[in-house]
C-alpha cells in the first residue's frame, strides 16, 4: 500500500473524527455499510441505481442512510453525502481474495476507482478499508493503545541509551578522541530513535483524540534529540571527501542488520569502502556549543568560523572580544557556555 496515502485516510478514521463517529454509530446499531470515500468518473461508471442526495455529511445522516441496501458515496473532501442505496458493479475480473459479497465489491470498486472503500461488518464487529488491492483492518482504541505503549516503552529504552552515548560522545569530543566507530554508534542509535518515533506518531494518528496522553509522553522523549542529527552533519561532513554524502537520512532505508554494522554505516556516510573504524575524527564543535553550551546558532557560526574548538577553550575574555561583533556581555556568555561544556565531561 502507498503508506502516506493510507495513513492520511486512517487519520480521517481516528476516534474523534466525524467519519469515525458515524461508523461507530453504524457498528453499534448492528447494521453493516459500504462507503466509498470520494466521487469521480470511475465511481460513476461502476454505480447503478440509488438516490442522489447531496446533503451535508453528519454522523447521524450516515447512520440512517446505512439502513438502506446498497453503498453510500461521499464527496472527495468527505463533507457531502453524494448518494445512497447505490449498487456497485465493478468488473468481475478484477483480482480479489475476498469471499464475502460486500468485501469483494469494496475491493473491486476501490481498484476500479482508485479510491478507498470502507466496509462495516456487523457480524464481525469490524471496520475495514480497501485500497490499492489491500484490506486494512481499522483497529479498536484498545488495540492501538496497546501497541502504542509497547512502542513507547521501546523508545524510552533507546532514548536513555542515546542520552548516555551522547554524554560519552561529548567527553570524547572535548578530549579530541572521537573515532569513526564512536560516530557510527551514535548515528545508528539516532536512526533507531527516529524510526520508533515515526512508528509512535503513526499510532498517535490512529488514536486521534484518544492519543493525547501518549502524544505528550512521546514529545517529551524525543524533544532532547531534536536537531542533533543536523548538528552532527555540520560537525563531521568536512571529514569526508564529499560532504554532501554525510547525511544521516541515507540510513533511513537500511535494514536492521545493516544499521548495526559500523562498517556499512560508515560507508553510507561517505567514508569510503572498508573504512578504518578506529581512525580519529576532528569535530567543529557546533553540537557542543549549541546543545550543551546553549549558544544561539548565529553566534556559534561566528565562533567556529574564527577559531577551533580547542582554541576557544583556551581563549580569555579579551581574546573573545577580538572577534568581530563580540563585546563584553557576549564574551562572558561564551565563557559561561564553554564552562558548561567542560563540566559536561
Express each pLDDT in 156-197 by its tens digit: 999 999 999 999 999 999 889 999 999 999 999 999 999 999
Element containing residue 301 per DSSP (H, E): helix 297-306
Final residue belonging to a domain, choices 229, 244, 269: 269
Same domain flag for 20 and 129: yes
Asked if residue 181 belongs to a domain, the reply is yes
Asked if residue 154 belongs to a domain, the reply is yes
pLDDT in tens, 93-110: 999 999 889 999 999 999
Q: Please give the Cα distance from 144 to 134 (Å, whole number).
A: 20
Rounded mean pLDDT, 61-86: 95
Same domain flag for 36 and 147: no
Same domain flag for 170 and 111: no
Same domain flag for 95 and 120: yes
Count of other CB atoms within 10 angstroms of residue 335 = 15
Asked if residue 84 belongs to a domain, the reply is yes
What domain range is 33 assigned to?
A: 3-138
CA nearest to 184, candidates 167, 165, 199, 157: 165
Asked if residue 277 belongs to a domain, the reply is no
Instruction: Give the residue ranges of DSSP H helices in 175-243.
Output: 180-207, 212-223, 228-236
Element containing residue 81 per DSSP (H, E): strand 80-88
Q: Please give the Cα distance from 119 to 106 (Å, whole number).
A: 7
Q: Of 99-108, 255-264, 333-342, give the lowest mean pLDDT range.
A: 333-342
Asked if residue 88 belongs to a domain, the reply is yes
| pLDDT of residue 224 exceeding 60 | yes
Asked if residue 278 belongs to a domain, the reply is no
Same domain flag for 155 and 259: yes
Kindly give the pairing relationship between strand 47-48 and strand 71-74. Answer: unpaired
CATH classification at residue 66: 3.40.1700.10
Final residue belonging to a domain, choices 97, 123, 138: 138
- pLDDT-derived band at 122 (thresholds 50, 70, 90) equals confident
CATH classification at residue 306: 1.10.150.20
Same domain flag for 125 and 176: no
CATH classification at residue 254: 1.20.1260.110
pLDDT in the model for residue 311: 82
Cell numbers for 138, please give them.
481499522
Q: Kindly tell me the burial class for residue 31, based on how many C-beta atoms sit within 10 Å of its own C-beta (0-12, 13-18, 19 or more).
A: middle
Same domain flag for 258 and 312: no
Total number of domains constituting the chain: 3
Same domain flag for 156 and 250: yes
pLDDT in tens, 292-311: 788 888 888 888 886 778 88
Same domain flag for 213 and 110: no
| pLDDT of residue 331 exceeding 80 | yes
pLDDT in the model for residue 344: 63
Same domain flag for 256 and 217: yes
Same domain flag for 104 and 177: no
Same domain flag for 13 and 121: yes
Residue with cell 474523534: 16
Amino acid at each position: 500500500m502507498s503508506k502516506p496515502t493510507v495513513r492520511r485516510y486512517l487519520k480521517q478514521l481516528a476516534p474523534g473524527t466525524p467519519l469515525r463517529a458515524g461508523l461507530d454509530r453504524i457498528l453499534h446499531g448492528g447494521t453493516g455499510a459500504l462507503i466509498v470515500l470520494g466521487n469521480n468518473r470511475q465511481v460513476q461508471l461502476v454505480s447503478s441505481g440509488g438516490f442522489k442526495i447531496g446533503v451535508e455529511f453528519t454522523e447521524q445522516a450516515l447512520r440512517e442512510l446505512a439502513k438502506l441496501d446498497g453503498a453510500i458515496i461521499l464527496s472527495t473532501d468527505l463533507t457531502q453525502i453524494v448518494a445512497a442505496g447505490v449498487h456497485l458493479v465493478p468488473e468481475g475480473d478484477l483480482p480479489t481474495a475476498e469471499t464475502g459479497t460486500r468485501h469483494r465489491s469494496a475491493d473491486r470498486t476501490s481498484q476500479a476507482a482508485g479510491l478507498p472503500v470502507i466496509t462495516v461488518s456487523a457480524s464481525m464487529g469490524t471496520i475495514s478499508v480497501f485500497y490499492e488491492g489491500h484490506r486494512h483492518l481499522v483497529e479498536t482504541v484498545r488495540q492501538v493503545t496497546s501497541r502504542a505503549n509497547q512502542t513507547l516503552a521501546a523508545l524510552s529504552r533507546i532514548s536513555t541509551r542515546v542520552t548516555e552515548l551522547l554524554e560519552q560522545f561529548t567527553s570524547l569530543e572535548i578530549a579530541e578522541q572521537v573515532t569513526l566507530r564512536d560516530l557510527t554508534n551514535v548515528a545508528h542509535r539516532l536512526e533507531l530513535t527516529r524510526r520508533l518515533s515515526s512508528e509512535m506518531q503513526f499510532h498517535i494518528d490512529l488514536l486521534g483524540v484518544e492519543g493525547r496522553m501518549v502524544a505528550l509522553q512521546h514529545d517529551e522523549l524525543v524533544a532532547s534529540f531534536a536537531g542533533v542529527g543536523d548538528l552532527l552533519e555540520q560537525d563531521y561532513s568536512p571529514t569526508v571527501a564529499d560532504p554532501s554524502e554525510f547525511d544521516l537520512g541515507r540510513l533511513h532505508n537500511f535494514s536492521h542488520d545493516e544499521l548495526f554494522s559500523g562498517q556499512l554505516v560508515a560507508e553510507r556516510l561517505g567514508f569510503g569502502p572498508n573504512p578504518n573504524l578506529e581512525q580519529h575524527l576532528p569535530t567543529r564543535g557546533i553540537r557542543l556549543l549549541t546543545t550543551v553550551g546553549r549558544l544561539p546558532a548565529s553566534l556559534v557560526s561566528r565562533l567556529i568560523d574564527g577559531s577551533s574548538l580547542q582554541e576557544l577553550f583556551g581563549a580569555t575574555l579579551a581574546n573573545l572580544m577580538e572577534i568581530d561583533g563580540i563585546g563584553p556581555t557576549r564574551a562572558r556568555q561564551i565563557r559561561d557556555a564553554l564552562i558548561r561544556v567542560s563540566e559536561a565531561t
